[in-house]
Chain A
Amino acid sequence: MNNINYLVGKELFFSKTLKTSRFCLFLYFKVKRRSYIGQILYRLWEYFVKNNILLYSEYKKYYIREYKNYAEYLERHYTLPSDLVKKILNNKLRYKCLKDWPDVGIQNLVQTPDAEIIRKFLEFLKIVSLENYDED
């Protein structure tokens, strides 16, 4: 399974693993959970990961009669290019829309150019950003 996660514009397609869970979050950054930086990291983790959708079960519940197969669902419903769909196609793929996340502080932090913490966090989650796919 491909462990790389893709950020396409404001939409994140990722696979949840133990290494990117919130338990390993504090171990990776070597911070205490109840410290200030621990809270910031937890909020960042919420921004990227929490309230995600398991795409395969979403497809089976709501879209199975509309699209021929799971790959077509990803291509047509999320307008993803077919080469990207081939890379990310798996039954454990999750989706999170990062637009309109209400935590203003985290929104500002993520939009700060060259913020070191964001760069490290994206490394932790193994996210590759495909920025040119979307523009507001």
Chain B
Amino acid sequence: MNELTIPDVQLIDNSSQRLPLILVLDGSGSMSGSPIAELNRGLKLLEEELKADPVARLRVQLLVLRLGGHDNVEVVADWTDAMNFTAPTIEANGNTPLGKAVRLALSKLEDQKQNYKVAGIPYNRPWLYMITDGEPNDTAWEEAAKECRAAIDSKKLAAFAIMTGGARLEPLRQFTDTVLKLEGIKFRELFVWLSRSASVASKTRQGESVQVTVPQNVLTIPT
């Protein structure tokens, strides 16, 4: 190959686009013990995998919400670039206000999009992952599910529900068509897959779609 290049050319890295990645994590009482321990180990792996990827660490931006307690939703990690992300420790107690958590996620996403627009930062279609071993039991969760659906249908969001333990399919289907069942408590494998999918998606340019291959020994399509 001819190595002749133009000398003294300096490149400006303007590829500052972001992939917003939102995790809505079930911290209800039924997750206590091994499930929550494995979930926390998985979060730590997610942090390590994203930081190790030279592009994803700059582009993936995370928001992590925990749901549990008495109808409680807390922001355990506010919008952070992957390179600065420290995996939070999720506690398990209380019930499953999934509707409230998704509504907060959608609200914070809209606020962040405004920040991107003001700063002139382009962004990929955001990803929302809901991970739960139960079913929503807060009031008006169905309205939140409709809002999530509307965002998906208008291509403002890609949403995935990961069910584990005793989670029921039908309530989660109201949020999104993309519902996957986690094999056992393979949270570590789940988050490794998630980080690699996000890494690929963060490099997506215009007109390109992302093909996400589901590892069948980790996730299955429930029926």
* A, B co-complexed: no
